Chains A and B, each alone.
Chain A
Amino acid sequence: QQPVQSPQAVILREGEDAVINCSSSKALYSVHWYRQKHGEAPVFLMILLKGGEQKGHEKISASFNEKKQQSSLYLTASQLSYSGTYFCGTAVTNNFGNEKLTFGTGTRLTIIP
């Protein structure tokens, strides 16, 4: 089951903030966030493990609510370079010991000057 991301798309002016949500119906082991620009590879942003961990990366941070199986990505004071499609990739506990990721449908973020 694919995680659900919201919103599907958002347009911001440079300097504004955004929140992207990722929800899963399964018990999650970890959540991985990626940004993909058109025609390019997904670029890793951060990983969150179960335990309600919140991580930060400059003006981009994320949280993981294990009880609700939800993760949120926070972008503050957005910059033009933040434009792209954001994907959450979720990993569930499995017997293979790998981080096979199930990705959401993405959130397209457009930053305008």
Chain B
Amino acid sequence: DTGVSQNPRHKITKRGQNVTFRCDPISEHNRLYWYRQTLGQGPEFLTYFQNEAQLEKSRLLSDRFSAERPKGSFSTLEIQRTEQGDSAMYLCASSLTRAYRDPQETQYFGPGTRLLVL
């Protein structure tokens, strides 16, 4: 099975520390999305990449957050100086689109990285 994978699956850190998460999308998927999900809520959009270009960022993404997708393959999401409010599940999704606006674009989610900031 070559679905979306994320590492680590769980991360516990102390407030003020930096953390980095990795997402490996489905092979050949050109779009990659990051979402954040808190308990009892639906996923919230953070940012997205078209190949290696980061094309949109949510206002939720403060300056402490940075994401990269070098070479248009895997992506990393880094949180600097973590705060307790950063505790959440961070989900990655990928999709394959063949047009600028593909009405059939389907996002496939990975299992997520659960972050707990103490």
Contacts and interface: CB of A to CB of B under 8 A. Distances in A.
- Determine chain B's interface SS by DSSP, over half rule: loop
Interface residues of A, number: 25
Interface residues of B, number: 28
B79 interface: no
A81 interface: no
Contacts, number: 62
Interface in B94-118: 95, 100-112
A97 B101 contact: yes
A109 to B, nearest CB: 15
B45 A101 contact: yes
Nearest to B92: A41
Contacts of A44: 106-109
Given A41-B109, A44-B106, A87 B42 contact: yes
Given A100-B45, A106-B41, 6 more contacts: A42-B43, A89-B107, A97-B101, A103-B42, A105-B41, A105-B42
Interface of B: 4, 31, 33, 40-45, 48, 50, 55-56, 91, 95, 100-112
